[in-house]
Amino acid sequence: MDYKKTKAPRTTQTRDMNELSEKVGNVYEAVAIIGKRSNQISGALKRELEAKLQDFSMPQDALDETFENREQIEISRSYEKMPKSTLIATQEFVDDELVYRVGNRDDQLK
C-alpha cells in the first residue's frame, strides 16, 4: 500500500470509542487490532525509508564525518511529514479496509 496517498489526518483527532468498538464488540479488541496494524505499518515504512537511504550510504570509517546531501534530507523530511502509523491504522479501521480474525472465535470478522 502506498502510505503517502493515505487520507489519514496528519494530526490526532478525538474518536468516539463506542463507534470504534461497534465493529468488534469490545474496545480493547479494537485497540489491539489498530495497534497490531500500526506496528505493521511502522515496520514497512521503516524498511522502505532504510532502503531509500541505503542508496546514499558510502562505506567509510566510523571516524570520518558523514555528509548528507540534499536528496537524502528531502526524503527524510517527506517521511517526517507523513501521518503517524497509528493514525493510518485507525483510519483504515474506520474505513473498513482492515481484514482481521479473532483467534478464539468461530466466526470471522471483516
What is the structure's pLDDT at 109?
52
Does residue 79 lie within any of the structural domains? yes
Q: Show the domain range for 33.
A: 28-56+67-110
Query: Residue 25 burial by CB count (10 A; 0-12/13-18/19+): exposed, middle or buried?
Result: exposed
Cell of 66: 558523514
Does residue 88 lie in a domain region?
A: yes
Q: Convert the pLDDT of each residue in 61-87 to its tens digit.
A: 544 555 667 888 888 888 888 899 999
Q: Is residue 46 situated within a structural domain?
A: yes
Distance, in Å, from the CA atom of 108 to the CA atom of 22, rounded to the nearest integer, reads 15
Q: What is the pTM of this model?
A: 0.76
User: Does residue 60 carry a pLDDT above 70?
Assistant: no
Q: What is the mean pLDDT of residues 40-53?
A: 91
Q: Report yes or no on 75 lying in a domain.
A: yes
As for how many domains the chain has, the answer is 1
pLDDT for position 70:
81
Position 52 scores a pLDDT of 86
The stretch 18-41 carries a mean pLDDT of: 92
Whether residue 10 is contained in a domain is answered as: no
Is 100 a member of any domain? yes
Please report whether residue 42 resides in a domain: yes
Average pLDDT of the chain is: 81
HSE, side-chain direction, 13 A CA sphere, residue 61: 2
Number of H helices, E strands in the chain: 4, 0
